[in-house]
Structure 1
Amino acid sequence: MLLPWELLILLSLTGCLAERNTRHGPVFTQEPSDSIFPLRSEDNKVFINCKAKGNPVPHYKWKVDGRYIDMDLNYNLVEGNLLINNPHATHHGGVYQCIATNVFGTIISREAKVQFAYLQNFSRKPRNTVSVREGQAVVLLCGPPPHNGEIKYSWVFNGRPSFLLQDTRRFVSQRTGNLYIAKVEASDVGNYTCVVRNMMTNATVYSSPTPVVLRRDGEHAPLLPLIEVQFSETLHVTKGSSVKLECFALGNPVPSITWRRTDGNPLPGKMKINHSNGVLEIPYFRPEDAGVYECVAENSRGKNVAKGQLIFQSMITHNTLKDAHMAIEANLQWECRASGKPKPVYRWLKNGEPLVLEDRILVEGGRLAVSRINLLDSGMYQCLAENEHGAIYASAELKVVASSPDFSNSPVKKSMLIQRGGEVIMECRPHASPRASISWRRGGEFLKDSTRWTIMEDGTLRISNISESDGGRYTCVARNPFGTSSSTGTLVVKEPTKITVPPLSVDATVGESIVLPCEVCGDSSLDPTFKWFFNGKLIDFNRQDHFEMIGVVCTSGDLMVRNIQLKHSGKYVCMVHTVVDSVSAAAHLIVRGPPGAPEGLIVGEITDSTAQLSWESGPDNHSPVTTYSIQARTPFSIGWQAVRTVPDSVPGQMFHATVIELNPWVDYEFRVVASNNVGVGEPSMQSKQIRTKAAVPDVAPGNVSGGGGRRGELVIQWEPIPEELQSGEEFGYVVAFRPLGTSTWKQTVLASPDASRYTFRNDSIPPLSQFEVKVGVYNNEGEGPSSHVVVVYSAEEEPSEPPSRVWTRTLSASEIEVYWEPITQTASSWKIIGYEVLCWEEGMQESDAEMVRVTDPAALLSGLKGSTVYLISVRAQNSAGAGPSSPAVNVTTKKPPPSQPPGNIEWNLTNSKIFLSWEHVKAMGNESEVTGYKVSVVSVIEESLKTSEQMLAYLNTCPHPPFGKSDHNSILLLPAYRQKLKQETPVLRSVQRWSDQSDCNASRLLRTRGLGYVLDSVGQ
């Protein structure tokens, strides 16, 4: 399959090849245009472009000023383009036209005016002196030499390198080249040179100087403005061009120049006025720029006005003509429509020459009509529309075709299948010129129009109400003056297709599956195809999981709808197609499902515990709503919760209810859910958030208890009331208590809603005194209920004596064990809950001591420094606090173990025996003595070290010290260990020296190999 860009390229190539293979007359693709060429000696050649397409390829001729050009040394053809060698402005300037011809005819291009830009020199003859009085006006004539092309004028004063600057007093006209001085001053005396520059050739020439001198016979009197430079009274301007209006006045004082429109409209915003105000330029001329423009020159003596009208004109544009391939004796009509201002006139050309009119040929303006065309009328036609701004051509080719009828490209369809009772259209469209007359025959009998048989104007045969007897061969016969031809087709009549088991309308419930049948009878050779449509759209079984066509055979194509959803409700159409007919049958599926979401939920009257709700019913999805339930959500709830209503069960015909048992002063959102016999529907949109009114709180605190604290304190505790049950603002607690057996309550108010504890202090309260306690609630609406009365004990007394017989035992350089006699319980101290052991270094304060809390009369202190004196003290603790500390006892930790590991571990294997040796470790002065060594062995599996507690074995040479005597520095592995080594491929992991301070640094890991296993030995 082609990609889109590949298809685009293929179509382009096909179009190019088709155009290249189609024979047609010439068509210009490039035409000459008006041009001005500079005459340069270094490249003395000029090209005038012309190119046309055609098949056969056109050949070219050129005309200049209406005369055919003979190709010579000056003229050459280059693929249709005209090359002019060594052009001369006089001999080769003119109006050129290109002519393209092939066997189908001739066309001529538009006329192109060709000019050559040049600029000759000024005459060297000296110029006369100009004498003028001061204050008088003067005009210095430029008198440019012969030239062609755009010219720019300027003046040089006294031979200065820069040009004379123009201002309101001095003006250089670009139409005449003259220099105008409105009022002469003494500084104007000098020599003036006119400079002319050709803008195309860049050639510049200078005139002879014109001397200007002052006359001494008096000053010139003041003078009214005299407009010396002005524009034409009527000026035709073409669309899109740029127009410049010049206006300059002489006078004393120097006149000022202003511009305006006589119709009162503002000057165009795109207008440009030069700094001397003498030139008004309007670029990109448009119809709205047309009108009468005035130049006003004014001084103190008066004013003068020059005016001119700008008339909008446009070039010619017109429609194109279409080529015509027409049969002989047909009527041709072409219409050439052009627009322009002034209105264009039309001329018609045939093969480049004026069309010769005769009785059959009628020209009315741009319309050409030729009746009863013949072969001689073939050729290239051009419509020429022209006005004073130019001419434009439209070309078209007329091919007159004369041929006998031909069915090769459009024969009668060879075989047509049609169902009995139907209608058939048999087309007959031969290619013939002129158009052929058509007749039909069946077998050898020609057909005539009847109630069932009709031969239409275009030759098509229509047969209606087909019967079996209409089957057979039909022949179309075409005739014209150039011959006769025929084409035959066969009509085959088939029995019509009928749907015998159509789908039936059915009701279904969401989640069910149904089958819609569709069975047909008819001609089995027609191979019917089944299609199903749902709500007018074809079902794509590959993209829709719910639909499946089942039982697909030549006569059946049932539709199964699986797991039906509400969206499957609608019209289903079974359509059966054959090559001769199509039949269809429709059924409706109604899907019953849970109801849709209720709509328009509104919250009405609100109290402290109720809310009135109303709503509108949503879609019932073909099953009436039986009940409505209401759900609520608060900032304190987890999701939506069902709430109680009045009535308790809202029937499906009721659309309002009252929600009850709401908490006061709580923000609520509500939603309504409908149910029917199918199930529970989607909930409605939640209501806007509302807040119930405040009320006196009705929930008392729970789990009121207490006890503990310091001596003389009564501690009362309770569970705080959740925010959703506080019922209003300014919520707080009322705590009441009294000694057991008394009648007067003491109360205190706690304004914090989060309070959960209150402590009453009075040093006169005996330890463990009993109090009756209750806790109530209140808010800004009033005081709520109190809790049940409970009995709470006051704080007990701290222990009054320290533990006795405190003694210690040093375990190592970092650990000490402490023991003491426990304190005997007394009624006043109630219960000892633990002990605090204080430990601090000698020379430090007890306040800096580290403390360890324990419940038993013993403690292990670790993380201590070696060879250090510590002070130890113990005190008892109960719920009231800690008692006095015992007298401090001194204890000194042991020296730290040796810091150096065993070194130079060696091993030797002899007769399945492994002998290890290492250097003895000597303890330093502040370290404890070495008492033995520890050797650990681990197994290595697949030569990778694997360490675990289960694989660790300790070897020692004698029972005391634990692993080896301190004066031994070697070991022989015993047979039991050797057997273990053989089984587990052991590694001697480390050797550590042993002292009374336990393990310390181990030696480096040693890996050895012997008897097929690895042994690493490490000392301790």
Structure 2
Amino acid sequence: MEEKERIISGSRTFRIWSAFPAKCYGQYLLTIVLLTICEASWAADLLQAPRFTMQPSSSDSIVSEGRTKILQCQAIGYPKPKYQWLKDGIALGEFSSEHFYRIHTTRREDAGSYQCVAQNDVGSIFSEKIAISVAYMGTFESATERQVSVKSGQVAILDLPAIESHPAPLVTWFMDGQTQLYDRKYAMTTDNQLVILDASESDQKAYRAQAVNPHVGREEYSSYVRLTVTGEAPTEIAPEIVVKPTDMQTVKEAGVDLHCIANARPLHELEMRWLKDGILIENSGISYTFKDAWNRTLSLVSANLTHTGQYTCQVRLRSGGFPTVTANATVTVLEKPSFVSSTRPETLGEYGALVTLPCEAVGVPSPNIMWFRNTEKVESISRDRYSVIEDGSLMIKKLRMEDSGMFQCLAANEAGEESVYTWLKVKTAVPVMEIPPQNATVLDGKDATITCRAAGAPTPNITWIYQNNKSVEASGRVQVLESGDLLIAAVKEADAGHYTCIRANEAGQVHASAYLTVLVRTQIIQPPVDTRVLLGHTATLQCKVSSDPSVPYDIAWFHNNEMLSTTNSHRVFIQSDGTLEIQAVRAADVGDYTCAVISPGGNETRSARLSVIELPFPPLSVHAVRLESPSQRAVNVTWTPNFDGNSPILKFIVQRREVSDLGPITDPLPNWVTDLSNVSAEQRWVLLTSLKAATSYQFRVSAINSVGEGSQSESSNVVTLPQEVGFVGSARSPSEIITQWQPPLEEHRNGQILGYVIRYRLYGYIESPWTSRNITNE
């Protein structure tokens, strides 16, 4: 036996025996996985599409409530088909090898339309539908005897009491409970009403109905209806049609009944004839029969399209004397859809080509056409490539491998539905490179996608080769996409090089290559940081850049989004390494500074804030208020904080000084005393106590931040504390007042007390001058 050897990637040897069929030679590409191509080809040759040999059937489409129902269908194909049953289009379970479906203990809600789906590796098709109904029967809803009254000669209509039954029961009316009614006088409508014609005294009897449902083996009797006939009728009554024929539809090969019930007197002289399209029924050339001796029910047997037309019920008295009366009804014969031509079981299509699947159907009315691929509506698969043309054919553009499968055309109208199916096979084709790889230059850290789009049948597999000798394996950063493209996430310098993609299938292969160049990203590696600097000092903001040596870049600085110009500035400079230097910083220099790097290797911006800190400004609105209670000798000092110098205030210092009667002393240094040196930064007032009585004060406040103590505020208003003297007086007579007082405290005397001065005036006379008297201390 001859053997052949192939060396792949210079590392492994594979022996492929010539025992393989000749059509497999030349298909051993890169990996031994492709040796299974031949096996797959043989398996494909054995595939057979599913095909129904038995449509859903059952012994009876009507099943009694509570009984067991078994539905069956059968299909052939290779592999052996599996089955799934649907009820009203909804799946009843998963696919299984069982070709039957069992309904245990049938309930009324089990009624519906059933069909099965057959599926194998080729695809899936659905069967015809079978309607299952559940038979049941209740009792008559009313058991009360009823009375009906009618005038002599007129028509009496007795309604059948309501009864729950499916299918509709077979109804027979009895008179006096025994006699079955069959005579010219009696007729029954399609609603099972009893019609008594030409009512007379002899018809005054009791009537009741028997309802039989043979599917459940049950019969029920209604309550009695008693008929009363009143008055005297004339000898003759003009013919009148009391139940007119109604428009009907029927399906070809089925039958349909037209009913026409008329009244007259004498009843035996009543004659009824039928016409079709104005021609006596016996001369119309259609097949028909009458179901009673009085021609009341015209039955069209095995209806065909010639039975479509207008039917006229014509009633008259043979003895004459009255005009003939008529009633019309239209019968429409529907025809179930059928296909004009047979459909091939298999259809071959070239990959990428246009294929048309025929489906020309006729019927009355014209059927609607729906297409399915593997039992799924084609509209939900692809509206762009799938379209149904005017004659019902399905047009598929740019055929793909995934289009292979079972295509089923369903033609439906009011008379029914019919379907045909074909297995669409897409022929294999040598891969064609549609979008080859392109040379690409990518910044490091960015994602790179190298395209490799190819068309073929079946869809070509994909292999990527790096630097002509290394297979590219999918890993965390490297992925081969479903389209065949190679995605390299966050590329590195080591990813640069020569990439080759190979697209191959059982019909052949195609390859293409491209180079990937990786540029080192231009980026800021030492960005500026938020900086605080003292007023008048020098501020520096760094901006160090890393880049590819071959890629130029520019650095620009922005202050509050406005570009900084250093051309004519003696304070602002940009160093060679990108550092921004601001000398003798001012308050106007405060703000956001942005370093912007612009380069073919990438753009980047980083920002920081510059804060210029200084001593806090003096507090504002320093105000002092004496408390009303003289015993406290206290003053409340308030203020408003000023600018904090861009550094949070840490605390406040409150100072005071005494003011003589001559006013404040000009030199502030010797006479200002610090009262409180650690007032909270959150506080806006302070209460000073234990001050001297009969003394005037001024206050001032300063703020402290991280830089130091700021300037003192403006002095507050002057506050004078009153003299603390216990003074009382009382009248001794209409012309004398005695006064008493306590001398001031020792610490408030300021020397030896030599005497006192008493001032007095009449109460209420504020304009009068004070009268004084000196009192010595003797």
| TM category, shorter | 0.3 to 0.5
Q: Which has the larger radius of gyration?
A: 1
Structure scoring higher RCO (CA < 8 A, sep ≥ 6) equals 2
